[in-house]
Chain A
């Protein structure tokens, strides 16, 4: 059970050693804070990204807007690629997104566009997160562009569809007009049927028969009158009056028949023209139908063709009937002419008979019979007039129908022209859209990731960290220990006794550590080159300068620790308390861009982060490390001032032994 005594002793030693106690308590808290903070968040935030390209065009500004909205990035815009790459190589940016100048034009044309992402691939952990984040934002933009493109295409098609709908409405109206026209022609047919030309013919036949009978009576009268005397002169005078009236009536009838004949001729001509026009329309529509690609269009045209053919048939029938009527009227005209001649002859005979007086009674009886016959003739002629009036109405309807047909044909022609334009537009639109690559339309934006730094082995990108850690331990920890050893060995007493020796001791120690650092860096670079093929840095002066300032700062911190530490173990513990946060936040273990924001701020206050950045710029990015060098110089000035204060104010031996 003696080990329990040892246990007790160990704990007492720890409790009595305040520095060790502090380390034991603070260290796990620090580890928890930093590791928890490092792994607590999986999302990158505020990564500095440079963007190059025109930002005032539609699609480019939409892309920039998406990038800006993302919390992962802290965007900085640049006017040209060189300025952006310069900032990138100086460590101010982790990536540069280059949007080509013709970005908008290519997107609008449906050709897609390639976006270059110049990536800092030296930080392996950050690289993947960056690629994922930038790709997801760019792909989201790509989806938006595709969506807009489809909307615009739909808009075009909808517009075409509206045009087709309007045209279809027009065609429907035209069909309605054609049907109306057909109905009009039907009415004309009905009216033609009502016209009862047979009745007219019959009336005229009756008139002809009556006129023959009258001729016989008049012949008898002529015979009777020849033998009659002057006493019947009044009767002869009445006969003259009657003859005059009959002649006038006959003239009027002949005039009416002539007029009707002329009108029918004209109507016939119109109907013939209508037929010809209908033929032409049918031919044109048939051609359109044959050229149409759309089935809807074909059906509409076919319907129109059928309607027009039906109309033509009706018109042809009407032509035949009209010809027949003209023929009948011509016959009637001949008959009336013949009757006129007979009346004229009778008048002459009456004149002759006026000088005789024999057979007046028979003449009167004959004349009364003649009058009766003539009354019947008048009745026949009245009926004919009624028919002629109906014929007039028919002619008017025919005119109206013809005008409607003309108008309808005009509309059909117009719509045919619109059809042609619509089909032309449709074909152009289809050609335009189908000529584009669907794969490009679906994903118009392509991402081209360009790793900026060449890597021959894994070691390439961890060289800065290796050197920084090496300098940390050699300069900081060793620096603290060597000064403590002076105190432990009491050589510090001799140093304090010598004027200026303390200052020279510090300077000597720091410069020694600096020179050792050169050796360390050289060894690291040599081993990396020989074993892993890592290329040596291009700029040796900057490497030398970077190593100098880094080692000066870290050594100074170590020496300051050594001033206050009472033992080597205390020096090591104090050194660890300072070194461990720097290891976590100094871009050694974790990428600073993947840490929470508050740690990123803390990181800027730690010298090791700047040391790592300097070597990263020297060994990998080949940029300008002056910002980090300036930060370290500031640190060094501060540390020198602090050491100067200590040297001046803490010269008593009690501070050191």
Chain B
């Protein structure tokens, strides 16, 4: 069974086609990159895939469930937002406890998972520190932990390392790789080609609401006879001019 299956997905907002009949699929355990310039429709696609935005037409199935079925349970997906979406006025542990309880996880299980994620995200020492006092990388890791405290099978990462320094970025990559080893299906958007090449099994490039190219990095470079993924990206991901 494919983890994610998208067919003719479309989103029209105020008579403007934001996403135009895109179709793709993601295998279980695969890391899939969704690339595109600003305004290409990536975020809208992400929101539709995660159930945050209702599509105008088309279908999405996540682990065999439709969006409506997904909206009722929503336990199989995790969405790591680009901005930090945790509570800065709570400590690391308190944030994790909150999100775990909102996911309906029992107290005992919550404690186990908090321990696990604190370790995995390397936040154990900061467990009782106010989130506002964390560094940028720690905040990003906490953000990730809060988004996946319920251990979803499919994880959406929206530009997980944007604005982070190279050292921190590597830390995040390590976390993502760990998730990959846990057989999680990960869909990433990123502007960093190095990240895409390092992490993604396959990528799809969006332009003006459409997928204009998809495949592995190697396949895309060979296909368009370009040496670097940046070039491939630059070739397709021209900024949308209104």
Contact = CB atoms under 8 A, between A and B. Distances in A.
A497 B86 contact: no
Interface stretch (A9-17, A113-121, A454-462, A485-493): A485-493
Given A490-B81, A490-B85, A491-B86, A497 B50 contact: yes
B146 A497 contact: no
Given A489-B88, A490-B85, A654-B13, 13 more contacts: A489-B83, A489-B84, A489-B86, A489-B87, A490-B84, A494-B102, A494-B146, A495-B102, A496-B52, A499-B72, A499-B74, A504-B102, A653-B47
A509 to B, nearest CB: 13
A493 to B, nearest CB: 5
Given A493-B52, A652-B53, A499 B73 contact: yes
A530 interface: no
B83 A497 contact: no
A653 B102 contact: no
A210 B146 CA distance: 181
Nearest to A505: B102
B87 A498 contact: no
Given A489-B85, A652-B53, A494 B74 contact: no
Contacts of A498: 74, 102-103
B39 to A, nearest CB: 15
Contacts of B87: 489, 491
A153 interface: no
18 contacts: A489-B83, A489-B85, A489-B86, A489-B87, A489-B88, A490-B83, A491-B86, A493-B79, A494-B81, A494-B85, A494-B99, A494-B146, A494-B147, A497-B77, A498-B74, A499-B72, A499-B74, A501-B102
Contact of B52 (A489, A501, A504, A653): A653
A653 B53 contact: yes
Contacts of A492: 85
Please indicate which of the listed interface residues B84, B99, B102 has the most CB atoms of chain A within 10 Å of its own CB: B102
Interface residues of B, number: 27
Given A504-B102, A652-B52, A493 B81 contact: yes
A350 to B, nearest CB: 180
Interface of B: 13, 47, 50-54, 71-75, 77-79, 81, 83-88, 99, 102-103, 146-147
Contacts of A491: 85-87
Which 10 residue pairs are nearest across A and B when measured between Cβ atoms? A653-B52, A490-B85, A491-B85, A490-B83, A499-B74, A501-B102, A498-B102, A494-B85, A490-B81, A493-B81
Contacts of B147: 494
Contacts of B75: 499
A495 B99 CA distance: 9
A504 B102 CA distance: 8
A496 B47 CA distance: 11
A494 B78 CA distance: 9
Interface string A401-429: 00000000000000000000000000000
Interface residues of A, number: 17
Contacts of B83: 489-490
A23 to B, nearest CB: 27
A225 B131 CA distance: 196
Interface in A211-265: none
Contacts of A653: 47, 52-53
Nearest to A490: B85
Contacts of B47: 653
A495 B147 CA distance: 10
A514 to B, nearest CB: 19
A189 to B, nearest CB: 136
A504 B78 CA distance: 19
B131 to A, nearest CB: 11
Nearest to A491: B85
A646 B132 CA distance: 31
A247 to B, nearest CB: 169
Of the listed residues A490, A497, A651, the one surrounded by the most CB atoms of chain B closer than 10 A to its CB is: A497
A79 B143 CA distance: 71
A651 B86 CA distance: 20
Nearest to A654: B53
A568 to B, nearest CB: 14
A501 B53 CA distance: 16
Contacts of B52: 493, 496-497, 652-653
A594 B116 CA distance: 66
B102 A493 contact: no
A603 B144 CA distance: 50
Interface string A496-514: 1111010010000000000
A492 to B, nearest CB: 8
A651 B79 CA distance: 16
Contact of B74 (A497, A652, A654): A497
Contacts of A504: 102
